[in-house]
């Protein structure tokens, strides 16, 4: 065991997989020599060689498009998009090829590609550096989407993502990259894709969240406990495929559900969770399912971001409203 933050854990997972599988290559903008702008890949080029961990030209469509060819020719590329807001030039390659080549070739060409994507707000960044647009990707058939909230899960989920024969969008909550330290095994282990985790058992309300929002919910839960409410917290860990069983089972038990996410509220992951609660647990509901999510506005620049970010107080407010409904 070793104390790791999420940056260390992602680095460790890449290091383990690079050492064990020669078909893995890791590349992106500043990913090689410098180790990425967040230093997530630091030291990997030195250890595994410049052919395997490298800097690509500055072009996101190029990064994603070349990964398609590499995967077709037998490699397992792990590509990095520097920030969530920079992924859009690669969108065509993701929606037109990465997620379609397996289907188009009737299974002949698998696309074992991992797209690492630091996402989310709360870091006082410039425009285009704070978005949480995972729902856009969740809407694309052919893609799997995972989001760790802890160093342990970051390592285990990334190992699963790299070993998956399907393309995986690996969202990294950059706000908590270095905020949490945890004892993590230095050995290889994996956390399965498609399985949510019940972080706290409770009886009054189910809260579903992921990524950096988990910590905010946990702060709200301290307030809820003081108020005498029992909250069940589910860390989604995988957005697609959604662990319907865990969520529906929990709602059937508590009768109430709140989604907490930093994504724009409408047509989002939260909307899907609301639909799920209605479809799978309608007769168990004692209050309307609620979303605590961002406004449907452009993420304000740092001076105004406090209006936008989800706070523990806001989460507690919604928990109380839902329980008292």
Partner 1 sequence: MFDQFDPAEDKMLQVIDNNGKVISKELMPHLSDDEMVKLYKDMLFVRTLDAMIVSYQRQGRVFTYPPNYGQEAIGVAAGATLRHEDWLVPAFRELGAWLAKGVSVREVFLYAMGHEDGFKFEDANHVLPFSVPIASQLLHASGIGYAIKYQKKDEVAMAFVGDGGTSEGDFHEALNFAGVWKVPVIFVVQNNQYAISVPVKMQTASMNIAIKSKAYGIKGLKVDGNDIFAMLAAFRYAHDYARKEQQAVLIEAVTYRKGAHTTSDDPSKYRTTEEEMEWDKKDPLRRMKLFLEKKKLWSDAEEERLTDEYKKEIDRQFNETEQSVQYPLEDAFRFTYAEMPQDLRDQQIEHEKFLQWKNARK
Q: According to the binding rule CB under 8 A, does residue 45 interact with partner 1?
A: no
Smallest separation, CB 146 to partner 1 (Å): 13
14 vs 8: CA distance, rounded Å: 10
Q: How far is the CB of 234 from partner 1 (least distance, A)?
A: 17
Q: Is 259 helix (H, G, I), strand (E, B) or coil?
A: strand
| For partner 1, the closer CB: 112 or 202 | 112
Task: List the interface residues with partner 1, window 276-305 (CB under 8 A).
Answer: none
> Rule CB under 8 A: is residue 18 a binding residue for partner 1?
no
Task: Determine which residue in the list 102, 215, 256, 290 makes contact with partner 1, applying CB under 8 A.
Answer: 102
Q: Residues 6 or more apart from 299 whose CB is under 8 A from it?
A: 121, 127, 130, 131, 305, 308
CA 233 to chain CA mean position, Å:
17
Tell me the site size for partner 1, rule CB under 8 A.
46
CB closer to partner 1 out of 90 and 180: 90
Smallest distance, partner 1 to C-beta of residue 52, A: 8
**Of residues 1, 214, 3, 28, the one with CA closest to residue 14:** 28
In 43-113, the DSSP E strands lie at: 53-55, 76-80
Question: For residues 67 and 77, what is the distance between their CA atoms, to the nearest angstrom?
Answer: 6
Pick between residue 105 and residue 311 the one whose CB is nearest to partner 1.
105
Q: At what angle do helices 6-20 and 151-163 cross, to 10 degrees?
A: 30
Residue whose C-alpha is closest to residue 150's, from 5, 266, 260: 5
59 interacts with partner 1 by CB under 8 A: yes
One of 4, 16, 25, 231 touching partner 1 (CB under 8 A): 25
Catalytic residue check, 284? no
Active site residue: 129, 139, 284, 306, which one? 129
Residues 170-199 interacting with partner 1 (rule: CB under 8 A): 194
Site residues (CB under 8 A) for partner 1, limited to 252-281:
none
Does the N-terminal peptide bond of residue 44 adopt cis geometry, omega within 30 degrees of 0? Answer: no
Taking residues 62 to 101 in sequence order and writing x for each that binds partner 1 by CB under 8 A, - otherwise, the string is x-xxxxxxxxxxxx-x-----------x--xx--xx---x
Binding to partner 1 by CB under 8 A, coded x per residue (else -) over 208-247, reads: --------------------------------xxx-x---
When the beta carbons of 60 and 318 are compared against partner 1, the nearer one is 60
CA trace torsion 298, 302, 305, 309 (10° rounding): 100
Angle value at C-alpha 209, between 204 and 214, nearest 5 degrees: 95
The pair of structure tokens assigned to 18 is 């690079």
Helix 312-323 to helix 213-226 angle (10° resolution) is 50
Shorter beta-carbon distance to partner 1: residue 140 or 287:
140
In the complex with partner 1, the residue whose CB is nearer, 163 or 320, is 163
Both tokens assigned to 236? 């989604």
Compute the least distance from the CB of residue 18 to partner 1, in Å.
13
Residue 276 sits at the vertex; the CA angle it makes with 289 and 282, to the nearest 5 degrees, is 65
Tokens 């410098």 correspond to: 34
Point out which residues bind partner 1 (CB under 8 A).
Answer: 25, 51, 56-57, 59, 61-62, 64-75, 77, 89, 92-93, 96-97, 101-110, 141-142, 144, 164-166, 194, 240-242, 244
Catalytic residues: 129
């Amino acid at each position: 065991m070793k104390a790791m933050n999420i940056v260390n854990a992602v680095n460790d997972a890449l290091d383990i997989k690079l050492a064990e599988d020669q078909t893995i290559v890791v590349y992106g903008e500043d990913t090689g020599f410098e180790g990425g702008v967040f230093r997530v890949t630091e030291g990997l080029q030195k250890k595994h060689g410049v052919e395997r961990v490298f800097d690509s030209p500055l072009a996101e469509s190029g990064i994603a498009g070349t990964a398609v060819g590499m995967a077709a020719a037998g490699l397992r590329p792990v590509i990095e998009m520097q920030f969530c807001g920079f992924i859009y030039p690669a969108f065509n390659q993701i929606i037109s090829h990465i997620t379609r080549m397996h289907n188009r070739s009737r299974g002949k060409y698998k696309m074992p590609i991992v797209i690492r994507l630091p996402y989310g707000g709360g870091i006082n960044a410039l425009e285009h550096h704070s978005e949480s647009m995972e729902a856009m990707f969740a809407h694309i058939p052919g893609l799997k989407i995972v989001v760790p909230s802890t160093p342990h899960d970051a390592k285990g989920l990334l190992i699963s993502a790299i070993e998956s024969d399907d393309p995986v969008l690996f969202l990294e909550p950059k706000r908590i990259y270095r905020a949490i330290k945890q004892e993590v095994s230095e050995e290889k282990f994996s956390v399965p894709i498609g399985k949510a985790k019940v972080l706290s058992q409770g009886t009054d309300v189910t809260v579903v969240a992921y990524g950096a929002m988990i910590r905010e919910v946990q702060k709200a839960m301290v307030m809820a406990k003081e108020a005498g409410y029992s909250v069940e917290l589910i860390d989604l860990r995988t957005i697609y495929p959604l662990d319907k069983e865990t969520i529906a089972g929990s709602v059937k038990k508590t009768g109430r559900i709140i989604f907490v996410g930093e994504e724009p509220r409408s047509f989002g992951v939260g909307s899907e969770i609301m639909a799920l609660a209605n479809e799978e647990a309608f007769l168990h509901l004692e209050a309307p399912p609620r979303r605590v999510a961002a406004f449907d506005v452009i993420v304000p620049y740092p001076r105004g971001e406090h209006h936008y970010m989800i706070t523990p107080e806001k989460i507690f407010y919604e928990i109380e409203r839902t329980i008292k409904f």
